[in-house]
Amino acid sequence: MTAVVPLAATAGLLFAIGLYGMIGRTGLIHRLLGANIMASAIFLFLVVLSTRGIEASADPVPQAMVLTGIVISVCITAFALGLIRYLRVMTGEDELRRSTRDADGQSADD
């Protein structure tokens, strides 16, 4: 059971590192990687919660949560990459610019 404390603390710090990636960097790929690290941190914590030592069997609920979370993570990442690639190809942007004027473009119904 000695793995519990170091890995749980690691999970907490990893979440903060991932958060830094999301809000401290401007490149979209780096922000997406930061989000993935945040997700991995939460999954690590959940796996830590599921361990019960050598004798007892593990708690299956957090493990099911992690498996679901991994698949959802890859789905969101794939979709996000599509948006990022599309943005890059159409406008050459690789960050979200804070536009100083309101969106003057047409609405989608036009």
Partner 1 sequence: MIPLSPVFDVLLGLGLLWLAWRVVASRGRFTAVVLFMVFGLVMAIAWARLGAPDLALAEAAISAGITGALLLNACKAAYADPGHPQPGGPATPPPSSARRWLVYAICGGLGTALAATMAWLALGRPDVAPELRDAVSGHAVDNPVTVILLDLRGYDTLLEMAVLLMAFLGLRILMGHRDLAGLHPLPEGVPSMADSLVAMATPILLITALYLFWTGTEAPGGAFQAGALLGALGVMYRLTGRIEPLDHTPAALRLGLILGLGVFAGFACLSLIWSDWPLSYPAMATAGVALTIELAMMISIAVTLTLLFSGSAGIRLARAPVQGP
Partner 2 sequence: MTDPPPLVMAGHTALLLGPLICGLLVYLLPWPRFRDAAPIVLSAGLLVVLWYLSGEMLGTGPVTLALGGHFAPLGIELHVDALALAMLWLTGLVGLAVNVHITASVNLTERFGPEGFRILWLVLWSALNALFVAADLFNIYVLLELSAITAIALVAVSRGPEAVAAATRYLFFALAGSLFFLLGVALVYAKTGLLALRGLESLQWHGPASVFALGLMTLGLAMKAALFPVHAWLPRAHAIAPSAASALLSALVAKAGVYLVIRLWSGPFDGHWPEFLGQSMAVLGAAGIAYGSIQAIRQSRLKLVIAYSTVAQLGYLLLVLPLASVLAWHGVIYHALSHGLAKAALFLAAGNVIFMVGNDRLESLSRGDHRLAGNAMVMALAGVSLAGLPPSGGFIGKWWLINAALESGQWWWALVVGGGGLLTAAYVFRVLRYAMAEPHPDDGRPDLPVKRLPRRMFWPPMLLALGAIALGFAGQWLVPILALGRPGNIAG
Looking at residues 82 to 101 of the shown chain, list those that interact with partner 1 (rule: CB under 8 A). 82-86, 88-95, 97-98
What mask, x for binding partner 2 by CB under 8 A, covers residues 30 to 49? -x---x--xx--x--xx--x
Cα–Cα separations (whole angstroms), residue 37 to 10, 48, 69, 96? 12, 16, 13, 20
Of 1 and 90, nearer to partner 2 (C-beta) is 90
Tell which positions 39-68 bind partner 1, by CB under 8 A: 40, 43-45, 47-51, 53-54, 57-61, 63-64, 66-68
Burial class of residue 45 (count of CB atoms within 10 Å of its CB; 0-12, 13-18, 19+): buried
Angle of helix 4-24 versus helix 28-50 axis, rounded to 10: 160
Single out the residue of 87, 90, 100 nearest to residue 29, CA to CA: 87
Residues that bind partner 2 (CB under 8 A): 15, 19, 22-23, 28, 31, 35, 38-39, 42, 45-46, 49, 61-62, 65, 68-69, 72, 75-76, 79-80, 83-84, 86-87, 90-91, 93, 96, 102-110
